[in-house]
Amino acid sequence: MCDTMVALHEATADGSVIFAKNSDRHPNEAQSIEHHPAAEYPGGSKLQCTYIEIPQAKYTNAVFLCRPFWMWGAEMGVNKHGVVIGNEAIFSKIPSVKEPRLLGMDLLRLGLERGDSARGALEVITELLEEYGQGGNCAHNHKFYYHNSFLIVDKREAWVLETIDRLWVAKKVNTSQSMSNVLSIGAEWDLASEDFISNTRSQIRSANSDQIHVERCFSDKLITRAACSRERQSRSSELLRKSNGGITAATMMNILHDHNDDGEGRFLNGLFNKTLCAHAGWGPARKATQTTGSLIVKLTEHDIEIWVTGTSAPCISLFKPVWFDDGLPDTGTTPGATFDPGSLWWKHELLHRLTIWNYPLYTSLYCDELREMQDRFICKAGSLAPAERKDLTAQCFNEAAQKEDEWTDRVKKEECSFRLSLLSRRVWEKFNKKANITI
């Protein structure tokens, strides 16, 4: 499950546009951060997506992606034109397609590689959706099928795009928008697939002949409720409203960190996950719900400022600044399904999986230092000349890696005492065994 949001010009402190997303997947689905340059392809070229092959475009944009290691597509990303996209799993009365087609994550990456504006990316996604459809298993080590919604943003506008199989409907964002794993478009929208209304009336008996309400017609109430989607969307919307007119990248970081004001670690033990910063645990709705990556993108008229963790658990991660022209520093080996100490993602995961045994105690050993470092990174990024950015990116990644090693050692030396429930400990022991990680 995921949470995605945007604040447009009127909602931010400096008139920029700021996008943010927590990507939630299975705890062992490591996520890599990648920069792919623009490319040109000869006519007739083919592109292998996660499951199916489609014609390749003649040109593709440079993109920065946060990608689960096993798929071609991405959970979130931004291209050189300043188009940013995040997707959300949504659950409908119309069953998801199990036949291998394009994943929602494939469509997201295709929108970034081929779109030069938010509206352009929306058109890329919807045209490919109508031609090839969406479908196939969306998880690496278990079965998980869903439809997709998208938040598509550029420096001038943002769109919510919601899809059910090959049907789609889109609405333009006004000031700010938060999205979770629930349909958010009601009876009003700006764009829709040509057969959306006729198909809705034929497939959904509750569709009134005079008015169609997308969420009421399509939403699978049971799965949506089990995922606590409305609670999370309500929480993110509330936090955006509280900072309306003064939202910054730091504001978005705090929202992505959010545990709903629970500083005692109780959020780790509940049967359901109601927090924006998600941690897996015991329960059918929690076993595959871990924030495995976080991204914030700030768009101005002439700049694209990217903040990325490259790690799970944003509450104990550092957002590092990246700019397109300077690319990424060396982040170690590309992560896979099992523990790799040479990987940025897995190295941090060791700190996370130690910390959750007694979250209040272990975070007290290093989180003040982490927050001070984060403030320093933000301050430095805001006062840099463009020529200095590459050095700052490398410095932030290196300093974060060094400090996380120190914090891991610090936690290991502390006498272990459990606050995590026995049931949750058992679940995490299984995750760790499967990932070959020793805690």
What number is the average pLDDT over the span 210-215?
80
Residue 208 covered by a domain: yes
What number is the average pLDDT over the span 102-125?
98
Write down the catalytic residue from 2, 49, 138, 228.
2
Residue 439 covered by a domain: no
* pTM for the model: 0.96
Residue 360 covered by a domain: yes
Give the pLDDT confidence score for residue 318 in this predicted structure. Answer: 98
Render pLDDT for 231-268 as a digit per residue (tens, 0 to 9). Answer: 999 999 999 999 999 999 999 999 999 999 877 778 88
Query: Is 204 a residue whose pLDDT tops 80?
Result: no
For 399, the domain range is 3-434
Name which of 253, 262, 237 is nearest 177 in CA terms. Answer: 237
What number is the average pLDDT over the span 151-167?
97
With cut-offs at 50, 70 and 90, classify the pLDDT of residue 363: very high
Residue 158 covered by a domain: yes
Phi first, then psi: give them for residue 165, nearest 5 degrees. Answer: 55, -120
Give the residue with greater pLDDT, 323 vs 288.
323
Give the pLDDT confidence score for residue 207 in this predicted structure. Answer: 52
Residue 225 covered by a domain: yes
Coil, strand, or helix at residue 148?
A: strand
Q: Hey, CA dihedral for 189, 191, 192, 194, is it positive or negative?
A: positive
Distance CA 53, CA 145 (A): 20
Q: Could you tell me the CATH number of the domain that includes residue 294?
A: 3.60.60.10
Residue 381 covered by a domain: yes
Give the pLDDT confidence score for residue 210 in this predicted structure. Answer: 60
Helical (H) or strand (E) element with 31: strand 31-36
Domain total in the chain? 1
Rg of the chain (C-alpha set): 21
What number is the average pLDDT over the span 13-40?
97
Mean pLDDT of the residues in the chain: 93
Query: Is 229 a residue whose pLDDT tops 90?
Result: no
Render pLDDT for 321-332 as a digit per residue (tens, 0 to 9). Answer: 999 988 899 999
Residue 77 covered by a domain: yes
Q: How far does CA 24 lie from the centroid of its chain?
A: 7
Query: Is 128 a residue whose pLDDT tops 60?
Result: yes
Question: CB of 346 within 8 A of CB of 340?
Answer: yes
2 is known as an active-site residue: yes
Cβ-based burial of 194 (10 A; exposed 0-12, middle 13-18, buried ≥19):
exposed
What number is the average pLDDT over the span 55-72?
98
Residue 257 covered by a domain: yes
